[in-house]
Amino acid sequence: MAGVSRLQYTTEVRLVRVMCTGRVDMAYIFRAFLNGADGVLIGGCRLGECNYTTHGNYYALNMVLLSKKILAHIGLNPERLRLEFMSGSEGNLFVEVVNDFVGKVKELGPLGKSETASMNDLKPRLGEVSKLVPYIKLETKEKLLARFENVDEHNELFSDDEVEKLLSEVASYYIDPEKCQACMTCARRCPVDAIISAKNQIHVIDQDKCIKCGTCLTACPPRFAAVTKIVGEPVPPPIPEEKRIIVRKRKESK
């Protein structure tokens, strides 16, 4: 059963249950904490014992290691997130793991109690990270798919400096009004409808809605190359709506 289940205790722990841990999206984790969970536990098959050919549990391992680094970066105790590998027949081990994790979360207390920041600070940070999940997955795609025989190598995949750079140098995307031909290709491909578009009107990216996934950049036809990736600089302000009309020249008939 795919989804997130709640286990109610004095503090709240959420157990993520899906067919394969490889399907556990990073967004589930940050969304759980954003919605008030005090801990998130992910349980999966033992490494090397995947029932599928994908070995998604290695992806889950890399994803959780990266998520813990991000949690620490924004001021949330990474011990509130745990990944445990076990066989489907190890019911006793499952109970032990859950009880141990719940005990740990109770020790940490409600979200914000043992953190370096208050909930008033943590909530907007979690919200911003949740919004950036598509961008984070895109930028770390190769490492998330890494699979090593030595598990210790996975622990070295993501450094603190890399996470700092990842979150401090977030790319933004801008549509050059001089190049946009209002073909609406980028608008149709945008997964969150962040592109303001209309027929014969220069398109504009709503930066508040943009999730930094880069879809518009790859979707824009090369002959136009209207979308620009911007890093470390402010995005130019959008042109006024009254100046977005594209006047096309008609071919004169012979």
- What residues does 229 pair with on adjacent strands? 173
From residue 162, give the alpha-carbon distance in Å to each of 63, 73, 137, 167: 14, 11, 14, 9
The three-state secondary structure class of 178 is coil
> Helix or strand or coil: residue 198?
strand
The pLDDT value recorded for residue 250 is: 63
Query: Mean pLDDT across the stretch 218-239?
Result: 94
Give me the pLDDT at residue 118, please. 84
Where in the chain do CATH 3.30.70.20 domains reside? 172-243
DSSP letter (8 states) at residue 10: S
Q: What is the pLDDT of residue 244?
A: 94
Residue 6: is its pLDDT beyond 60? no
Nearest to 221 by CA among 182, 185, 171: 185
In this prediction, residues 45-62 reach a mean pLDDT of: 83
Task: Show the DSSP H helices in the chain as ranges.
Answer: 26-34, 56-73, 91-108, 119-131, 133-139, 141-144, 152-155, 160-168, 185-189, 215-219
pLDDT of 18-35, one tens digit each?
567 888 899 999 999 999
Residue type for 12, please?
E
- Torsions phi, psi of 73, nearest 5? -65, -35
Instruction: Encode pLDDT of 68-127 as tens digits.
Output: 999 999 999 999 999 998 877 778 888 999 999 999 999 999 988 888 888 889 999 999
Whose structure tokens read 């006793």? 92
Q: Are 210 and 194 in contact (CB under 8 A)?
A: yes
> Looking at the domain that runs over 172-243, which CATH code has it been given?
3.30.70.20
Residue 117 Cα to chain centre, angstroms: 21
**pTM for the complete prediction?**
0.78
172 Cβ neighbours under 8 A, 6+ residues apart: 207, 210, 212, 229, 230, 231, 235
| Pick from 168, 147, 149, 3: nearest CA to 70 | 168
Residue of 238, 15, 21, 215 lying closest to 135 (CA atoms): 215
